Amino acid sequence: MTASPPIDELHFEDAPDVGTVPGPNTRELLDKQRDIDSSAVSYPEDIPIAFESGKGATVRDADGNTYIDMFAGIGVLNVGHANPYVLDAVHEQADKLVHTVDFPSEARLDLIEKLDEIAPGALQGNNKFVFGGPTGSDAIEAAIKLAKYNTGGDGLIAFRGAYHGATSGAMSLTGNKGFKGDYTPLLSDVVHAPYPHPFGQDKTPEEAVDHALEEVRAILEDPYGGLANPAGIFVEPIQGEGGIITPPEGFLTGLREIADDNDVVLVFDEIQSGLGRTGQWWASEWYDVTPDVMTTAKALGGVGFPLSGTMYHEDLDTWGSGDHAGTYRGHVVAMRAGTRAIEYIQDHDLLAHGRDLGEYVRGRLNEAATETGSIGEVRGKGLFVGAEFVDADGNPDGETVDAIQQYCYEQGVLVWKAGRHGNVLRLLPPLVLTEELAEIAMDVIVEAVREVTAERQATA
């Protein structure tokens, strides 16, 4: 068995090291992709890169340019690219057995037990876990079914700014009108409430929370609230695609109380925020609130294998045999990878590491905010970080984020964006990012903020 190497041994030693990008091999692959791949492809439109290999928190493109990865496949690669401790188990499992539907296997049962070990609050020791399809959307669909099955209702509450996935039910819960507008009708009885975002709403934290909770309670309890037969409340403990919106204290606690008062299921979507991303196993642990149901995916597959699942309180385990299914609920290679990834996080205390490194990253961004005036707010927990950019009038400034992303790419650091207006710089590096790599990456990012801000102010 491969030993569990320390995080400073996981990366390409030369990162970052880039020439002129994109290089010829990358351009050739991008051109070929445009010819034969789907028109739905989106990410290369923002960063024209073709990956060749990855190690830890670093990646190499088809021309040999090496980058620091501050995005990790949308938070998929929490233990880094090609983590050898995880891949050792993957190779061993793949040589023996790959797919078992839902017949028992050590790989399946080990992961269920490991997830119970790190389950939040009252779910620990009192949960069931169901595997379905390979993506987070599948986990959301399972949660929708659970809520409806156990309450007899069909109405769902979600939140503005939310992203829950691209399948029909998950898209119904998603707030982005442009994303789902061409696919209506979706689920008919979904109501979106405000998500507390003090900076974006020009409210104090207390006002933002009170406003959101009043709306949720009215939807459920006002005779004219609009939701006739409620089943569940679906919420991201920290909104990801919405812009790393970190709710003030009291919001999740209030949702828990409202759900209990109205006998509806409270579902936390931890697909992007879970498995150590925030410096806790689950973002909800920052608020000491336990859901009835919790969805997970992304980092669950260890090193990028597709795997999702839904954890729920055992009292909700009422459906019959075969009432929820999915062909890839027996992807035992991904399950072995998931268990090893959790072990690696535990063995190397990556929760504490992520908390410490996240403070450093946010601190550097706050310094840049003070210096340039172009960042309205820096927020997040652990290595789930967002910086919201605004212009001189306080309006969302997505063009600056686009320019920063391009600048960083040309200097060998990969960053991404989020937010309703594309004006949030989003950083989700692997949890194995070292202090040295973080310092190099943040030097580039802060330099990008300075240079882009100065250039835009000079031409304003």
Q: Do residue 14 and residue 44 come from a single domain?
A: yes
| CATH code of the domain containing 160 | 3.40.640.10
The CB density around residue 346, as the number of other CB atoms within 10 Å, is 16
The verdict on residue 33 lying in a domain is: yes
Write out the chain's pLDDT in tens, 460 residues. 567 999 999 999 999 999 999 999 999 999 999 999 999 999 999 999 999 999 999 999 999 999 999 999 999 999 999 999 999 999 999 999 999 999 999 999 999 999 999 999 999 999 999 998 899 999 999 999 999 999 999 999 999 999 999 999 999 999 999 899 899 999 989 999 999 999 999 999 999 999 999 999 999 999 998 899 999 999 999 999 999 999 999 999 999 999 999 999 999 999 999 999 999 999 999 999 999 999 999 999 999 999 999 999 999 999 999 999 889 899 999 999 999 999 999 999 999 999 999 999 999 999 999 999 999 999 999 999 999 999 999 999 999 999 999 999 999 999 999 999 999 999 999 999 999 999 999 999 999 999 999 999 898 7
Domain identity same for 343 and 362: no
Task: Say how far apart CA 190 and CA 304 lie, in whole Å.
Answer: 32
Q: Do residues 199 and 396 lie in contact, with contact meaning Cβ atoms separated by under 8 Å?
A: no
Tell how far CA 47 is from the center of its chain: 19
Instruction: Tell me how far apart the alpha carbons of residues 136 and 166 are, in angstroms, rounded to a whole number.
Output: 9
Q: Tell the residue number behind the tokens 């994303």, with chain if given.
A: 179
Is residue 273 located within the same domain as residue 332?
yes
Q: Residue 68 has which token pair? A: 């620091």
Alpha helices in 118-166 (DSSP H): 136-151
Task: Concatenate the DSSP letters of all residues of 96-154 into one string.
Answer: T--B-TTS--HHHHHHHHHHHHT--GGGTTSEEEEE-SSSHHHHHHHHHHHHHHHHS--
Q: Tell me the C-alpha distance between 354 and 276, whole Å.
A: 8
Instruction: Please give the share of the chain, as a percent, with pLDDT higher than 90.
Output: 95
Which residues, other chains included, contact 96 with Cβ-Cβ below 8 Å and sequence gap of 6+?
none
Q: Is 282 a domain residue? A: yes
Note the pLDDT of residue 170.
Answer: 97
pLDDT tens digits, one per residue of 128-160 = 999 988 999 999 999 999 999 999 999 999 999
Same domain, 72 and 105: no
The answer to whether 219 and 193 are in contact (CB under 8 A) is: yes
Cβ contact 324:145 at 8 Å: yes
pTM, full prediction: 0.97
Token output for 2: 């491969």
**Residue 67: strand pairing partners:** 59
Angle among Cα 253, 259, 260 to the nearest 5 degrees reads: 90
Residue 202 identity:
D
**Residues 192, 272: one domain?**
yes
Structure confidence at residue 1 (pLDDT): 58
Q: Are residues 43 and 120 in the same domain?
A: no
**What's the pLDDT at 226?**
85
Residues 16 and 123 in one domain: no
pLDDT tens track for 34-85: 999 999 999 999 999 999 999 999 999 999 999 999 999 999 999 999 999 9
Closest C-alpha among 264, 252, 255 to residue 227 = 264
Based on the domain organization, do 293 and 223 belong to the same domain?
yes
Same domain, 258 and 331: yes
> Is residue 2 a part of any domain in this protein?
no
Same-domain status, 149 and 180: yes
What domain range includes position 388?
7-76+349-459
- Domain contains 1: no
CATH of residue 25's domain is 3.90.1150.10
Strand order of the β-sheet with 51-55 is: 51-55, 58-61, 66-69, 413-414
